[in-house]
Structure 1
């Protein structure tokens, strides 16, 4: 697994040991960044179910100031720490060992807002829509901010004012949807 482009381009990342984590393939990651390219704002990114940290690291590699990498699994956090160390840019990352809900509550209370959010929860959880609604309601996404949603089913987030689907694409058993807030 490698960083595709930017200042860390070509950097080899470690995978999380075992079969509990499903890393985003290089093909899907490259496609995601191609799809969101015209909408990028380069502030803070959030990788809420970070696994290896690959998406958040890629966002910093491509120009984001800081990425918050959240996972609750010990093996994932250990892997994220190793991968972040390889960048020699530790200060551009905040690694949080926590559930998604607890992390969002803490980040909200700290007043952190995001320009780019990666949501790739374990497929069985089906919580993506609620997370998006909560983040918008708590004003955690900047105007023009992007949600990148990766699931095994078609996510349709409807009824949220100022949220629009930019693009949806299938990759074998993975569906990627890109939404923009406001802007």
Structure 2
């Protein structure tokens, strides 16, 4: 596993030992960033089920200003801390050990709004559309933000979820990626074109 492009290109990233986390492969990561970027002009990213932190670190390497990494697992949090340091982006990263729902409540209190959100949970968790609606309800999503959901290819997410519209869907073996854009104005005025 490595950073594919940007300021940290080529830096090796440590994986979480064991089989509880499934890091995004370089091939899938490359595909994701070609669909959503490939580069960014600032913004705040959220890597909610961070695992190794690979997606958030790639976003930082490609121009996102700051990223918040959240994972419930202590070992994953330690690996993310190691990886942001290895990629030389630690000063632009915040890392927290927390459960997703509780983390969203804490972020809401801070008044954070994200332009890029990565949701790459354990594949048994299939309610990312509900989580996206929760993010929006809490004011954590900027207008026009992109949300990347990495999931089991057997699970299909809806074309729309509230103000989230599906932009792209791609399948890579057992893994699928569904990308949404948050467009609250369009969802409030669906008849205006």
1:1-54 CA distance string (max 9 Å, x none): 000000000000000011110000100000000001279553000000000000
The runs of 5 or more residues in structure 2 that have no matched partner are 186-193
2:36 aligns to what SS in structure 1?
helix
Partner of 1:164: 165
Give 1:101-140 correspondences, 5 Å limit: 101-140=101-140
My pick for the range that moved more, 103-112 or 34-43, is 34-43
1:142 aligns to what SS in structure 2?
strand
Question: Residues 39 and 144 of structure 1 are in contact (CA less than 8 Å); yes or no, is this contact kept in structure 2?
Answer: no
Q: Structure 1 stretches (4+) deviating beyond 4 angstroms?
A: 38-41
| In the alignment, structure 1 residue 179 sits paired with structure 2 residue 191 | no
Question: Residues 39 and 146 of structure 1 are in contact (CA less than 8 Å); yes or no, is this contact kept in structure 2?
Answer: no
Q: Note closer, same or farther for the CA distance 1:96–1:158 as it changes in structure 2 (3 Å cut).
A: same
Question: Residues 41 and 145 of structure 1 are in contact (CA less than 8 Å); yes or no, is this contact kept in structure 2?
Answer: no
Cα-Cα RMSD: 1.5
Q: What is the aligned length?
A: 182
| Largest Rg, 1 or 2 | 2
Where relative contact order (Cα < 8 A, 6+ residues apart) is larger, the structure is 1
2:49 aligns to what SS in structure 1?
coil
TM-score, length basis structure 2: 0.90
1:43-70 CA distance string (max 9 Å, x none): 0000000000000000000000001111
1:124 aligns to what SS in structure 2?
coil
Question: Residues 150 and 175 of structure 2 are in contact (CA less than 8 Å); yes or no, is this contact kept in structure 1?
Answer: yes
